A and B are shown apart, each in its own frame.
Chain A
């Protein structure tokens, strides 16, 4: 991991985005740790994990608090994006090179990346958000919405029964568990690899904690964005001071904690799946 504390740095994530990520990862890790005991209730570690939060009631309370926080954060984010687009008139949010919305370019980038994987071409010139980053974003947004709705049904079944049939609780519980499996597996394996553990980033990419990326890294990793910025008059308008060493230390601490917890949980899951499939 090379984090340059000197040289030319470019702003990538503003304070709001960084805060959203920290809230998201805290809630996600906590929700996983308090929810997995139920998903793996037949495992000894399931009970141990629940006891860590004071038993299933304690784990349930923490789970509901974190779930509500995460749902609120995601609603806040959606409101913020809509506000920026509709009220403040910010451009490029829903379409264009800096948008999170999938573009035709993402498909050609994916094809290009796979060609690069197999040695049949250069790595694509990525824009502000790569296709796998967009996948992460939409998976989380969609997953949170789905998990949130299912979670609320399970939290308030009597209230839910006034508008939904009782079998929706069965559906909600199933979806909550299956979507959790998908999300936990995706975040703790795929996102961890793509964002942090892959060669070149290992053991972690601090950009989401510091908010800045060096000009060299931008040129190397997102050549498309770099070229676009240069064509539009250079990266100077986006230039910021390199991250302070305190910021880096804090980022490493949070990142290490998050990665460790996530990897520990995925190891427990793999152990359980192997144990159950061998039994």
Chain B
């Protein structure tokens, strides 16, 4: 093709486009709108270019295949990028963020109440807190039921862990609880999901909910102390039933802020198998955070000493008191009610009888009222041990002094 011909054809194409465009604009003007909304093809005409980048080098490419595979495949670009509906192409550098509210008003309203939205509202522009896109993605967005989705149960923990297991984000975002992803991976729930592939085991959203993630201090939060039992009870319904009957539930219901709920003993993100020895031994210390004196006195017993040594095959708190349905001795249904003691002790001590259960599992030798005999024997031994060691310390000390003096005298000069 000769150069003159190429120029001519270019002019012709331009003229043709100008006429068509002009006609379109005229038609739009006639209909009362400025510009027709660009079609997806119009957008992709530029955004499929893999070299398309912002000034700061971040890519602006939209992969048509990815978009086509997303749940939003049938939407127009301008359904989300609404400010483009009336924009002239090429459009301005900075666009309004895609607004999910236009369709997803309920999730958006829930999200607005949550910690992530609150943080973003407080710290506009600089907050690292998750937006819709952080969890759901952007052009690749898929329904949670799709195994490839970031919010599918298989991937959800990793999605949250991208921030909540990332030391950099935790530090920069001042996330008070710190890394919760790492302990979760090792917890019974994390192992169930990740090692045993149990998708019914809870991931983050099962306890925290997905959009309205409220701080635990918020009374509406599913992880607020008063609501934790109900939250756990969604799956552990049988345990919730037991717990509800116990003294701890009564205390919790009465508004006692120190009353233990599930997470107090089991923790939130580090939940261990309760049939494991380390857990059984650790939880005794947990009981001691409230019942300090009772655990102290337990530590004076054979049971307490053996468990302290790290061996769990003897009675610790829950073995006698029960775990979830723990009741005070004054309750006739309690495992430690006088009438039930023989049965309770008898679970380990085959043949236990009424005399056997006169044993005090929480002795205190310094408490005269609790046991005068023990108090007196304690006194007796204090005197005996102090007297014996005191006498012989003096006796041996003097002996040592005299012997060395005599020997020095014998070896070095006339005897003393």
Contact = CB atoms under 8 A, between A and B. Distances in A.
Interface of A: 37-39, 41-42, 46-47, 50, 55-57, 113-114, 116-119, 132, 154, 157-158, 161-162, 164-167, 169-171, 173-175, 178-179, 181-182, 185-186, 189-190, 193-194, 198-200
A255 to B, nearest CB: 19
Give the top 7 A-B pairs by smallest Cβ distance, nearest first: A166-B358, A166-B359, A117-B398, A161-B356, A199-B403, A178-B381, A41-B308
Given A114-B398, A171-B374, A185-B385, 6 more contacts: A113-B399, A158-B352, A166-B359, A175-B381, A178-B381, A181-B381
A40 B73 CA distance: 70
Contacts of A186: 388-389, 392
Contacts of B416: 119
Contact of A175 (B306, B357, B371, B377): B377
B404 A199 contact: yes
A47 B374 CA distance: 27
Nearest to A185: B389
Interface stretch (B58-66, B246-254, B309-317): B309-317
Contacts of B396: 189-190, 193-194, 198
Given A117-B401, A162-B353, A174-B377, A41 B360 contact: no
B302 A38 contact: yes
Given A55-B311, A114-B398, A161-B356, A171 B403 contact: no
Query: Could you tell me the dominant secondary structure of chain B's interface residues?
Result: helix
Nearest to B401: A117
B359 A170 contact: yes
Interface residues of B, number: 46
B168 to A, nearest CB: 36
Interface in B18-54: none
Interface string B359-374: 1100101000001011
Contacts of A193: 396, 399-400
Nearest to B384: A182
Contacts, number: 128
Interface in B178-199: none
Contacts of A116: 402
7 contacts: A38-B305, A41-B305, A56-B306, A114-B395, A117-B395, A167-B359, A193-B400
B355 A165 contact: yes
A173 B311 contact: no
B11 to A, nearest CB: 92
Nearest to B396: A193
Contacts of A158: 349-353, 356
Nearest to B346: A158
A38 B305 CA distance: 6
Contacts of A167: 358-360, 371, 373-374
Contact of A38 (B306, B313, B353, B389): B306
A162 B356 CA distance: 8
A179 to B, nearest CB: 8
B407 interface: yes
A185 B389 CA distance: 8
Nearest to A135: B392
A182 B381 contact: yes
A198 B403 CA distance: 8
Contacts of B389: 185-186, 189-190
Contacts of A182: 381, 384-385, 388
A272 to B, nearest CB: 13
B349 A47 contact: no
Contacts of A46: 309
B378 interface: yes
Contact of B306 (A41, A164, A169): A41
Nearest to A191: B392
Contacts of B384: 182
